[in-house]
Amino acid sequence: KRIHSGIPRAIIDTLTNIVGMPSIDEPTKEWDKIAEENDFSNKLVQQARPLTLVCGYGAWKINFNSDISEYPLWEFYDAEFVEYIYQCGVLVGIIFKSFYKNAKNEDFVLLETRYKAQGNSYIEYQLFKLKKGNELQEVNLDAVPELKDIPREKQVITGLNKILAVPSRY
């Protein structure tokens, strides 16, 4: 339970309202459909911008799931669940951290690394069991039933020299 005067919340709300909505240089009908499908305005104002202002950074993960939508789906992660990968001062990858428990009530962290290299885009998954003393032990993805549909091998998108994620920083 948070107990404070309410001033921090008022500051974040004020800064969020001052910044306003981003302007899209050349919006297309496709952009409008993607933004609507993702409830972009609401996610930006209610989730991404306040968390980025508080934490300093975050990232949008871009997913494709034709069972849910014909458009890319965006998911925001705040600084607590994101790590940036730099090479020579250039952002080349983003690591997303997601936490799980299995039926035995054991704790796990899934590291989803999205990066670009040699003109291609890559996605890799690693699952770690959280042990006592903050020790990590890499385990098979099968240890958590919810991860049954995640690819076991590194995914490669040939010719796409982009990270399938977008940093959010102020």
pLDDT at 24: 65
Mean pLDDT (the chain, rounded): 87
The token pair that represents 140 in the structure block = 């098979």
| pLDDT tens digit sequence for 119-158 | 999 999 999 999 888 889 999 999 999 998 898 899 999 9
Percentage of the chain lying above the pLDDT 70 cut: 92
- 27: alpha, beta or left? (left if phi > 0; alpha if psi -120 to 50): beta
Which range is least confidently modeled, 23-27, 54-58, 94-98?
23-27
Burial classification of residue 143, based on how many CB atoms lie within 10 Å of its CB (0-12 exposed, 13-18 middle, 19 or more buried): middle
| Residue, of 10 and 111, whose pLDDT is higher | 111
| Reported confidence tier of residue 1, pLDDT bands at 50, 70, 90 | low
34-48, 64-78, 116-130: least confident range: 34-48
pLDDT digits (tens, 9 = 90+) for 3-33: 667 787 787 778 777 776 666 666 678 888 8
CA atoms in the 13 A half-sphere facing the CB of 60: 14
Residue whose structure tokens are 């990066």: 115
Which pLDDT does position 95 carry in this prediction? Answer: 98
